[in-house]
Amino acid sequence: MSTTHDPPPRRGDAARERLLNAAIDVFGLFGFDGASTRKLADAAEVNLQAIPYYFGSKEGLYLATAEHLAGLIQAHVATLRERLRQRLSEAEGAGASIGREEAQALLAEMLEAMAALFVSPHSERWARFLIREQMAPTEAFQRIYGGVMEPTLDVARRLVGILVAADPDSDGVRLRTLALLGGVMVFRVAHAAVLHQLGWEAIGPEETGRVRRLARTLVADLRPGGAP
């Protein structure tokens, strides 16, 4: 009986991967201008020449890091998002729309999963990079937005539109969708304020459970009317 194994990563592949993972932290902590190539290479434990060899320049590494980060986030959200998108498309293809009860269940599942991700250790290092791009967008933001944020917001607002009985392309539904996601994103982007306000020392399993329940409550509160 024979068995097969995946081949071990090539040394060059491993070095490139280390650079990308280290760059998330270094760019997040110091910004593009403050992240010297020396800091990047030292954090990744690679030769300084690895940056131009694999990415052409620091700028090339920065853009590749954005795409790498988008891929990491996709690994957490894409399967669920695509299942919801497919369900919406199936209903629309049949000339109908999913009912309010199903839309509420699907959106709650999506927001609960996002809430759990936002409070997880995974998102802590991502957030620094993303927040910098939110404050001063570059080409890297477009790659993250187009690859992850836009398709996620698209599915969310289609479900919000059903729950508030309004056009999902309207400004009102877009605003309510952003406010809904903001209700759980605050646990990452305002992490320190959250801990102080709630008197939590950290966000562990019990606190995560409470945030997930909040996500379901926020969805349950969506009603027709009152759209801005």
What's the pLDDT at 97? 81
Contacts of 47 (CB under 8 A, 6+ apart): 41
What's the pLDDT at 96? 80
- What's the CA gap between 166 and 158, in Å, rounded? 9
The list of the chain residues with pLDDT below 70 reads 1-12, 226-228
Angle, CA of 158, 79 and 156, to the nearest 5°: 15
- What's the CA gap between 42 and 55, in Å, rounded? 16
Neighbours of 192 (CB within 10 A): 7
pLDDT, one tens digit per residue, over 130-164 is 999 999 999 999 999 998 999 999 999 999 999 99
> Which residue from 189, 187, 176 is spatially nearest to 218, judged by alpha carbons?
176
Written as six digits, the tokens of 173 are: 């539904």
What's the pLDDT at 12? 54
- What's the CA gap between 155 and 81, in Å, rounded? 7
- What's the CA gap between 208 and 25, in Å, rounded? 24
Show the domains of the chain with their CATH numbers: 10-56 (1.10.10.60), 67-220 (1.10.357.10)
What's the pLDDT at 9? 43
Written as six digits, the tokens of 155 are: 């599915």
What's the pLDDT at 141? 93
**What does the chain come to in residues?**
228
What's the pLDDT at 5? 37
Residue 14 is which amino acid?
A
What's the pLDDT at 2? 34
What's the pLDDT at 93? 86
Written as six digits, the tokens of 152 are: 């996620």
What's the pLDDT at 153? 95
- What's the CA gap between 129 and 24, in Å, rounded? 6
What's the pLDDT at 114? 93
